[in-house]
Structure 1
Amino acid sequence: MALQWLVLSYVVAAEAAVAILVTLPTPKLLRDRLVSFVSLILQPALFIVPFAGFQLVDIYWKNEHRLMCKGDVCTASERDRYEKSIYKSQRNVVLCVAACFLYWSIYRICKYQKDLKSLEEVEKRYKSK
């Protein structure tokens, strides 16, 4: 199970780095090439959305079927283990949501940049007439 979360955390880190790279102010030629490269990567990287969704469903199922450790029947170590598992689940939910949100934001930024480029080309054509 830990391997899935490690992969998801690396993907979120990579998405964050790409989002930063795409939003940095760069020269027009470099920005256009970077956006076109990221746009090519976006379609194969779509696997992260159903993967994160499956992980969210898994977290929900485990939360519904988790043994409750409240009251006097639990020892201190069992209560600590229970609380630790709750915190890990919350962290993993944030990781899944961040993966989906970063993918969506990178997609929208690239789409916005492409639309801006096409509008600049249309403007250039009208000015040349």
Structure 2
Amino acid sequence: MALQWMILGYVVAAEAAIVLLLTLPSPKLVKSQIVSLVSLLLQPATGIVPFAAFQIMDLYWKNEHRLMCTSGECTAAERDRYEKTIYKAQRNFVLCVSACLLYWTMYRICKYHKEIKELEEAEKRYKDL
């Protein structure tokens, strides 16, 4: 199970780096090359969204079927273990949501750049008329 979270963590880190690269100011030619490369990567990277959704469903199922340790019958070690699993689940939920949001952000940035390029080309055509 830890391998899935490690993979998702690496994906989120890569997505964050790509979003940072997309949002940094750069010359128009370089920006268009970066956007076209990221646009090519978006199609295969779509698989991260259902993967993250499955992980969220897994977290929900585990949360519903987790043994509760809220009464006074629990030892300190059991209570610490219970709290640790809750914190891990919260961290993993944030990781899944981050993966989906960063993917959506990359998609929207690429789409906006393409729309701006199309509008600039249309403006250029109208000026030439």
TM-score tier, shorter chain, comes to: over 0.9
Q: What is the deviation of 1:7?
A: 0.3
User: Partner residue of 1:62?
Assistant: 62
Instruction: Give the 4+ runs in structure 1 shifted more than 2 A.
Output: none
Q: Secondary structure at the match of 1:67?
A: coil
Q: Distance in 1 between matches of 2:10 and 2:111?
A: 24
Q: Distance in 1 between matches of 2:72 and 2:107?
A: 51
TM-score (norm 1): 0.99
User: Partner residue of 2:128?
Assistant: 128
Q: Secondary structure at the match of 1:43?
A: helix
- In structure 1, the gaps of 5 or more residues are none
Q: What is the deviation of 1:109?
A: 0.5
Q: What is the deviation of 1:72?
A: 1.6
Q: Does 1:100 align with 2:116?
A: no
Q: What is the deviation of 1:127?
A: 1.1
User: Partner residue of 1:77?
Assistant: 77
- In structure 2, the gaps of 5 or more residues are none
Q: What is the deviation of 1:126?
A: 1.1
Q: Distance in 2 between matches of 1:70 and 1:23?
A: 46
Which residue type is aligned with residue 58 of structure 2? D
Which residue type is aligned with residue 103 of structure 2? Y
User: Partner residue of 1:13?
Assistant: 13
Q: Distance in 1 between matches of 2:14 and 2:72?
A: 45
Equivalent pairs, count: 129
User: Partner residue of 2:87?
Assistant: 87
TM-score (norm 2): 0.99
Q: Sequence identity of aligned pairs in percent? A: 69
Q: Distance in 1 between matches of 2:114 and 2:94?
A: 30
